Amino acid sequence: MTKEKQSKRHQATEIIQLFREGRSDEALVLFEKYGFRKEFICFAVTRGIDYEDASDLVQKFIIGKLYMKSDSIEHIEYARTWMYMVFRNMINDQGRVLTKNREVSLDEARDQSYEEASVEKNQTRSDCVQEQLKIFRDKEPKHAEVVDYILKGFDVEEVRLTIGRSYAATRQFMSQCRKKFKPFLERCLEIDE
């Protein structure tokens, strides 16, 4: 377990503990200090929500979930997992409202990115991977979400709790993530660095 991962876990636990004790002002200070505001807004933005909506969503998340529902967490050591699970559900609810608008823009984006990926020859490998990651997010949102969790330092148990599957199924799903992203990546491997 990396130090960063450990510290993020502890930080989330610390914040939840403060909310539980009714020390919401101190919890908010730590929420900002540990960079959770940016982290959650970023998480929402990568899921296709614009910054303003993402900011509002994080505010709702703090008021409606962290402040009101933090007592419902059974295992405080998995506070970070709980936070992501709840926030992901909020994004999904928000996403349902935005689905129609988003579908149009997604189709456009896909077409554009495919074209760019194939046509733009001056593109660097790094840019290409970023483009493909965006497409991967659009095409395989659930798998992309798990990739996000892995990159954020979640272990298998935490991912399992967040997506609500068994341990074996989670490992299987993680393996699928790698396999599903592979064809997206292969387009970029042709580009010289």
Partner 1 sequence: MKNKDQKILQNWIDTLQGISVRGMDSKVRLEARLLKKAWLEESKKIENKIPDHDPAFYQNIKEALKKKKDKMASKNLWTSFFENKFKAFLVVILGTGVVYASKKTYDGLVSVAEELNHVVLAKDTTKTKAENEIEENGFWDEHFDKHGGFTGFWSRYIPKINERNIPIVEVDNFCSHNATLNFNACLELANQYNSNARFNLGLMYELGVNVDQNYLQAYEWYKKSSALGNEDARSNMEYLIKKGLVY
Query: 184 with 132: CB under 8 angstroms?
Result: yes
Would you say 18 and 31 are in contact if contact means Cβ atoms under 8 Å apart? no
Q: How far apart are CA 177 and CA 143, in angstroms?
A: 5
Interaction between residue 68 and partner 1 (CB under 8 A): yes
Angle at 6 between CA 77 and CA 150, to 5 degrees: 95
- 175 lines the binding site for partner 1 (CB under 8 A): yes
Whole-number Å distance between alpha carbons of 142 and 76: 25
Q: Total residues contacting partner 1 (rule CB under 8 A)? A: 44
Using the contact rule CB under 8 A, the part of the chain among 82-90, 97-105, 112-120, 181-189 near partner 1 is 181-189
CA distance 44 to 46: 5
Contact yes or no for 49/112 (Cβ under 8 A): no
182 binds partner 1 per the rule CB under 8 A? yes
- Asked whether position 161 contacts partner 1 by CB under 8 A, the answer is no
Q: Given candidates 129, 138, 145, 160, which one binds partner 1 under the rule CB under 8 A? A: 129
The encoded tokens of residue 160 equal 């399992």
171 interacts with partner 1 by CB under 8 A: yes
Binding residues (CB under 8 A) for partner 1: these are: 2, 4-5, 24-25, 28, 32, 37-38, 41-42, 45-46, 51, 55, 58-59, 62-63, 67-68, 125-126, 129-130, 132-134, 147-148, 150-151, 153, 156, 171-172, 174-175, 178, 181-182, 185, 188-189
